[in-house]
Amino acid sequence: MELPSSLLMFISSRHAEERIVAHLRAHGFDDLTLAQGRLAARVAEGGSRVTELAEAAQITKQTAGFLVNQLEKGGYVERVPDPTDARARLVRMAKRGRAAQACAREMELIVEREWEQRLGVRRMRALRESLENLREITDPYL
Amino acid sequence: MELPSSLLMFISSRHAEERIVAHLRAHGFDDLTLAQGRLAARVAEGGSRVTELAEAAQITKQTAGFLVNQLEKGGYVERVPDPTDARARLVRMAKRGRAAQACAREMELIVEREWEQRLGVRRMRALRESLENLREITDPYL
DNA sequence: CCATTTTAGTCAGTGACACTGACTATATGC
DNA sequence: GCATATAGTCAGTGTCACTGACTAAAATGG
């Protein structure tokens, strides 16, 4: 075994992440950091609580709160009171956040297509299937 | 596409990384951080220069130098003068570093075997081949 | 063979982002 | 209605990434 599979996965996933960040920067979302982006990607359609985001991203709620503040200042998300719980507030994507999301997905798709071209449709599908399969034993927040 | 392949790769690679860190901690290598470990993993058999390590890990040489200092304090690596270049010093694995390396490889292998059990030998081999293939277009420091 | 440029590495300063611990306010359960 | 759990914040700390400026040695090239 030259390199472990996990390291090979790390290499390619980081490559994709860097491409996405560069794409966002090039389109005016240059105040968005990697950590902020990772968290923003977890915000649900109807809004998410800070604590939920923290769990999903596997960071403490303090860190998540800090990142949400930055995202709020940047106009990417907004906070609204949670009607069902006076302690909580819901984090929702704002207009700029949705635009950034769309921008990120664009590059995500481009990379995905590049990989498919490299491997061919059959092997790309097999790759995705295996990765999804492994996720069931590797994703603690499935 | 439910989740992009790159994110699936990130999930599993992080899982493996966490297992390795936990294994190291459990065996007394509890002062070793993730960043230090990633750098230490790149130290070549005959020794490496700080600048080489920085390039391979894609960090600045200042950051690499800082991490090597920590590793040196922890007894994981040692620095010796480079006989071929008076400006440079070679970073070599020390005894404790080799022990930690062996410990990390242990868990690396365990995870690899778990994945193989999950996917079966055939699909695991196909996964590795595809990942190695993709590496050629995603690894800037191949 | 000396002047210029490149390269190895350090020092100093800053910023992002992770952590723990302590705290307030609200909700929930017996 | 009291004890406990939960949502979130505040304060403080540590790691690790960055840039910029620097020294010293090596390589290059008239």
What is the tens place of the pLDDT at every residue in B58-91? 999 999 999 999 999 999 999 999 999 999 999 9
In this prediction, residues A9-18 reach a mean pLDDT of 92
**Type of residue at B101:** Q
Amino acid identity for residue A141 in this structure = Y
Instruction: Give the protein-side footprint of strand D (Cβ within 7 Å).
Output: A 49-52, 61-62, 65, 68, 82, 85, 87-90; B 33-36, 58-60, 62-63, 66-67, 70, 85-87
Distances (CA, A) of B65 to A3, A44, B47, B103: 25, 41, 15, 24
The CATH code for residues A5-138 is 1.10.10.10
Q: How confident is the model at residue A2 (pLDDT cuts 50, 70, 90)?
A: confident
**Is any Cβ of chain A less than 8 angstroms from the Cβ of B22?**
no
A55 CB contacts (<8 Å, ≥6 apart)? A141
Q: What is the pLDDT of residue A3?
A: 86
Q: pLDDT per residue over B95-118, tens digit each?
A: 999 999 999 999 999 999 999 999
What is the arithmetic mean of pLDDT over B123-133?
97
Spacing of B84 CA from C18 C1' in Å: 40
Compute CA A122 distance to the chain's CA centroid, rounded to the nearest angstrom.
26
Confidence of residue B37 (pLDDT cuts 50, 70, 90): very high
Query: Which two structure tokens, joined as six digits, stand for B33?
Result: 């951080």
What's the whole-number average pLDDT of chain A?
Answer: 93
Query: Residue B15, Cα to own-chain centre: how many angstroms?
Result: 14
Q: In the structure encoding, which two tokens stand for residue A33, read together? A: 């950091």
Q: What confidence tier does A1 reach under pLDDT thresholds 50, 70, 90?
A: confident
C-alpha dihedral sign at B30, B35, B41, B43: negative
DSSP readout, A29-44?
A: -TT--HHHHHHHTT--
Tokens of B139: 């690894």
Domain regions of chain A by residue span: 5-138
Residue B142 pLDDT class (50, 70, 90 cuts): low
Question: B65: which DSSP letter?
Answer: H
Interchain proximity B119–A130, CB inside 8 Å: yes
Among A127, A129, A137, most B C-beta atoms within 10 A, so best to mutate, is: A127
User: Rounded to whole angstroms, how far apart are CA atoms A5 and B132?
Assistant: 9
A50 close to A61: Cβ distance less than 8 angstroms: yes
Contact B74, B96 (CB under 8 A): yes
Can you read off the two tokens belonging to residue A83? 């009607």
Give the residue-averaged pLDDT of A38-49.
94
Q: Which nucleotide is nearest to B70 (CA to C1')?
A: D15
Residues of B in contact with A120 (CB under 8 A): none
Q: Is the predicted pLDDT of residue B38 greater than 80, yes or no?
A: yes
Mean pLDDT, chain B, rounded, equals: 93
Q: Which of residues 19-38 of A touch strand C (CB under 7 A)?
A: 33-36
The CA-atom distances, in angstroms, between A65 and each of A36, A80, B95 are 11, 14, 42
* Digit-coded pLDDT (tens) for A76-100: 999 999 999 999 999 999 999 999 9
